[in-house]
Chains A and B, each alone.
Chain A
Amino acid sequence: MEPLTKLTGVAAPLIRANIDTDAIIPSREMKGVSKTGLADGLFAGWRYASVGGREPNPDFVLNDPAYAGVRFLLGGENFGCGSSREHAAWALAEYGFRGVLAPSFNPIFFNNCIRNGIAPVTVSAATIAALAAEVSADPQGRPLTLDMDALTITAPSGLTAPFPLAPEAQEMLRQGLDEIDLTLTAREAINAFREADKTRRPWIYA
C-alpha cells in the first residue's frame, strides 16, 4: 500500500446520511473473485443512468468534470453502514479515494478503510458542511489537505479540523503497512498462548 503522510487533493461532497455499502458498491457489481476491478461499479446505482448500465447520470457529483482526480469524499452520518463487504473500501481505494470524511462511520467500514489505505476522517457535520461549501465553489482550485502526522484536514481558507485516530491505525496508514506482517512479529507469543490454552480449553482444538 502507498504510505499516506500528507496529501492535497480534490474533495467531492456526497452528504447523505446512512450511505450503505450496497450504495457504495452494489452486489451486482461485485462480479469477480478479486479485490480489483471494482472502481467501475463504485456508486453504480447513483452514478449511472440505468441499473446495470454504464451511461453516466449527469446529476451525480463524481460525473462532474470539476471533480476529476478526486481524492476525498465528504459524507454524512453513519457512513458505510449495512453489509460488511470490504469491497466498498476496495472500490473506493481503486477509484482513487484516500480519505472519507463523515460525522460518524460504521465500525466495520471504518476498519476496512484503514486496512486499505483510506483515512476515515471523523469530523462534525458542521465542519463537513463548511468544507463542502468551500470546495464546491471551485473543486480543482480548492483542494483539501490531509496531514496524517498532525491528524488534521485543512481547506485553502485555513479552516483546519483535527480528527481522532488510534495510534496504530495512524501508523499503518502512514507507513502503508500490512497488518499481517505486523502481527507475525509476535508469532512466538501467539504460539505460546495457544499451547497454554490447549490445556485450559482442549475442546476448542479437538
Chain B
Amino acid sequence: MTGKSLFDKIWDAHAVQTLPGDAALILIDRVLLHERTGGVALKSLKSSGRAIAAPRQAFVTMDHVVDTLPGRTDKTLMPTGTAFIVETRNAAREAGLTLFDIGDERQGIVHVISPEQGLVLPGATLVCPDSHTCTQGAMGALAWGIGSTEAEHALATQTLRIKKPRTMRITIDGALAPGVTAKDLALHVVAELSSSGAKGCIVEYAGSAVEALSLEERLTLCNMATELAAFSAIIAPDDKVFDYLAGRPYAPKGEQWTRALESWRDLRSDPDAVFDVEAHIDANEVALMVTWGSSPQQGAPLDGEVPSYETVAGRDSREAYDRALDYMDLKPGQPLLGLPIQGAFIGSCTNSRISDLRRAAAVLKGRKVADGVRAICVPGSSQVKKQAEIEGLDRIFLDAGFEWRDSGCSMCFFAGGESFGERERVVTSTNRNFESRQGPGTRSHLASPETVAASAIAGAIADPRPLSR
C-alpha cells in the first residue's frame, strides 16, 4: 500500500460519505464570508427557508467593497456598495454569525484575518466564496474557494459534495538569492508552470526552500495557487505555524491546545505518498519578477525585457500575446526596468501583512514618491494597520507620499468605485493583472511590495535591492 499525502489525510478525516464519480461528502469546519458574496448567500439561504447548520463555525468580515479612506462609514465609492454591507451585516446578525464589522479591530481581508484570528487551523477544512482562499493552505489546512451556491450548501449542511481533486506536488529546493521574495517566487512558479499549470489539482508545496520560508511568505506563495488554476494549495504545518497560532483568539487553548498540537504534528505526507503530478522548481534560479502582460503567467525577470512571441509560444497563443502587448502598450524586447508608471499599490491578500509593510517601508524610508505617481498602501487588516502604526511605518509611508488607508481589498480590484486611470501603468503587489482589474483600461504590473515601493520612488519600474536596508 502506498502512503497518503497530507491532502489525503485531511480528506479522509472529513469524508462523511463517498459519492459516485470519485467524490465525497466532505465535512466543513469553517465557512468564511465577506460582504461581496456572503450577503447574497445568506439572503438566498433565508429565502429558501433553510437554517444554518452550525452558526458558530461561520464568520463574516467586510473587505471587498468597504471604503478604505480614513473615517469610513457604510458609504462606499462603489455605487450600491452600501447595500452589500448593510444586507450582509443584517443577514449575519440575524443568523447569529460572528461578524468582523467596519470599526471592529478584527476586521480585514478575509484571508489575512483568518490566520490572524486563528480561525484557520491545521488539518481543518475551510471554505470561502473567494478564489484566493487557497492562501490559507499555508496554515496546513484544506482551504479552498467556492461559489456562492456552494457557500449556501456549506452553511445549510456543514458539508460540501466534491469531486476529489488530483494531487500535485511542487517541490522547491535550493535557496532564494538575497532580495528575492516569496512574491517573486510565486510569480516565477506561475510563469514556469502557466496559468493552467495545476489545473484542478490540490498542490502541496514542499522542498527546502518552502520550509525555509516564514509563515507570512508561505501565505504569499499559496495565495497565487489559484493563478495556476489549482483547486487549492497546502503546506505541511510545522513549528512556524504552531508558534504563529499559539494564543490567537480562536486557536485552541490549554489542554485542547496540547491535544491539537499532538495531532497536527502528524499532518504531513508519508514519504512514499504518490502524487498525480510532480513539478520541481529550483529556488536558486528565481529572479526578481514583474509581469509584462495581462495574465499572471506573463511574468519575466525584473531586469529582463518583454519577451518575443517565440519565447512564450508554448504557453500564450499568438492572439493572447498580441492582445496583452497591445493592452499593456509594450513592444517585444523593451526593457521592463525604467518603464514609467503613474500608480503604485501595496495591499491585497497577497502582500499586505506586517512583514510586507516592513520591507516596503525599509525601501521608502527617507525617500519620496516621484511626481506624477499616485501611491497607495492598504494594510491587509485592522490589526496589521495598528501594528504598523505602533512601529511608525505609517509615518514612513505618509512622509514618502503614500496614501495610508484603512484595511480592505481596496484597489486590488475594480468594483465600480475607485480605480487607477485608463491607460495608467501601475506597479502593484496584488495577484491579478487581468485587463481592467484595477480600473477600466488600467495596466497592472504585478511585483513584490519592495519592487512597488522602489518603482514609486523612481516613477518607473525599478529594482528595490539598491534601496533596501
Which chain A residues have a beta carbon within 8 Å of chain B's beta carbons?
Answer: 16-18, 20, 22-23, 26-28, 31-35, 45, 51-52, 77-78, 81-86, 89, 104, 106-108, 111-112, 115-116, 166-169, 179-180, 182-184, 186-187, 189-190, 193-194, 197, 201-206
Contacts and interface: CB of A to CB of B under 8 A. Distances in A.
Interface stretch (B141-149, B212-220, B272-280, B383-391): B141-149
A190 B165 CA distance: 22
Contacts of B295: 18
Given A17-B317, A18-B195, A168-B19, A86 B148 contact: yes
A33 B260 contact: no
B153 interface: yes
Interface stretch (B20-28, B104-112, B233-241, B366-374): B20-28
Contacts of B165: 107
Contact of B161 (A89, A106, A182): A182
A116 B147 CA distance: 11
A197 B124 CA distance: 12
Contact of A28 (B150, B152, B161, B416): B416
Given A78-B195, A197-B27, A203-B256, A190 B432 contact: no
A31 B80 contact: yes
A205 B252 CA distance: 10
A200 B121 CA distance: 15
A163 B252 CA distance: 47
B159 A166 contact: no
A168 B161 contact: yes
A17 B434 CA distance: 13
B97 interface: no
Interface residues of B, number: 75
A198 B19 CA distance: 23
B440 A51 contact: yes
A206 B252 contact: yes
26 contacts: A16-B320, A18-B320, A22-B434, A22-B436, A23-B435, A27-B413, A32-B80, A35-B40, A35-B44, A77-B196, A82-B131, A82-B434, A83-B432, A104-B199, A107-B231, A108-B131, A166-B20, A167-B21, A180-B152, A190-B53, A190-B158, A197-B27, A202-B256, A203-B257, A203-B260, A204-B57
B157 interface: yes
A33 B48 CA distance: 16
A81 B260 CA distance: 37
A166 B163 contact: yes
B157 A183 contact: yes
Contacts of B432: 82-83
B329 to A, nearest CB: 18
A104 B196 contact: yes
B184 interface: no
Given A31-B79, A204-B124, A108 B145 contact: yes
